[in-house]
A and B are shown apart, each in its own frame.
Chain A
Amino acid sequence: MGSVMDSPVYEVFGQHDALSFPTHVGSVRAASATLALLLARETYFRRDAVFDLWVVPRTSIFSARQHDPLMLGDRTNKAYRLPSGYDNAPIWKQFKAQAQTIEEVALDMTPPRRS
C-alpha cells in the first residue's frame, strides 16, 4: 500500500447571502473541481444553507504574507483617511448646527414600506 497519490487541495469559500462576501472556511482534497464542490458542500455547509460556494485550487492562491509580507506592515499616519480623524462636531456646534454621521444618513435612507 501507500502507492496512492494525495488528491489536490481546494480552498473553500462560502457566501452566506447576496449581500455578504465569500469567506474562506477551510479546504478539501478532491480529484477535480466538480468533485471538490460536491464534497465542500457537505464538509462545510451541511447545516446552513449557503448562497454560493467556491472552490479554488490551492496552487492558484498567491499570498502576500508568503511572498511580500512587507506590504502588510504598519503605515505612517493615515488619520486623514478615517472618519475619526476629523472632529467637526464642536465646530458645527459653534455654528449652532448639528453634526451628522453616515450611519444616520444610511438609517434615513432605509426604503419606506409601501403597501
Chain B
Amino acid sequence: MILLSPTQARSIQWLLTSVADDEWIIGHRGSEWLAETPNLEDDLALSSISQDEMGHAQLLYHLIEGLGGPSPDHQVYDRPIDRWHPAGLVTLPRQDWAEWVTRQYFYEVFDEIRRQALDTIPFPSLSSALLSIQREESYHTRYVHTQIQSLAFGGAVAEDHLAQAIAVDWPFIPSLFTWGGDDSTWQSLQSPVLDPEAMKAAFEATVHQQFVMWNIPWPGALGSIAPQGRDQCHNPAMAQVLSEMATVRHIAPESGW
C-alpha cells in the first residue's frame, strides 16, 4: 500500500470536498423535484438518482472523516459557507424542467471525466468508493441521455426549452473544472488528468460529439476557468440552502434527531 504524505492527504481532502459538495448539492436540488416531474415513473427514477448522489456525498464525507475531518453530519450541517466548495452550476436555484434535465446531463458528463481522473490517485479507499459509485452512475447516464434526447427530438416546443436551458447553464460549466483550494492541491498528486484544463478539454470533446449526434446546436466555446469557481461566499442561493438545511437541527444542536 502506498502511504500518503501529509500534503497529499490534505490535497485529497480538498479534492474530495469539491466532489462530495457537488454530489450533495445536486442531490438536494434534485429532491426539490420530488412529485413534480412530468411522469410518475420519471419521478421514481429521478428520486433514485438524487438519493444516489447524496449517498455518494455521504460516502466521500466518510473518506474525509477518515483523513482527519469531522463526521459526515458535521460536515453537512455545521460547516460555514466559506468552507463549502460545490460548483456554481449545481447550486443554481430551481428553474424549469428542461434546465434540470440539462444541468444533470452536463453534470453527469463532467462527473464521469472527474471520476476517471480521481481514479489515478493511489488511495485504495477512494478507488473502492469510486467503484461502487460507478455502478450507480452508469444508470444515471443512460437515464439522463433518454431525457435529453426527448428534448432534442421532441418537437419545436421541447427544442426551445432545451435551447434556453443550455443558454442558462453554459456560462456556469467552467465552474465545474476547478478543485477546491489552489493549483498546488491537485498538482501535489502528480496526475496530469486532474488538471482543470484537461478535464475541460475532455468535457468539450464529449459534449460536442453528443450534440452532433442529437442535432443540438453547439453553444460556442466554453468560458475560461475562474480560479475561484468554487467559492460560495457571495452566492445567495447557496447561503439559503445551507440555512434551510440547518434550521431544524439547530433547534437542539447537541441532541439526537
Contact = CB atoms under 8 A, between A and B. Distances in A.
Interface in A31-57: 31, 34-35, 38-39, 41-43, 46
Interface string A1-37: 0000001000000000000000000001111001100
B46 to A, nearest CB: 9
Contacts of B47: 42
Given A35-B146, A38-B146, A46-B48, A30 B41 contact: yes
A30 B44 CA distance: 13
B142 A38 contact: yes
B48 A39 contact: no
Contacts of A7: 39
A42 B40 CA distance: 11
B214 interface: no
B69 to A, nearest CB: 31
Interface string B108-146: 000000000000000000000000000000010011001
A39 B139 contact: no
Interface of A: 7, 28-31, 34-35, 38-39, 41-43, 46
5 contacts: A39-B41, A39-B44, A42-B41, A42-B44, A42-B45
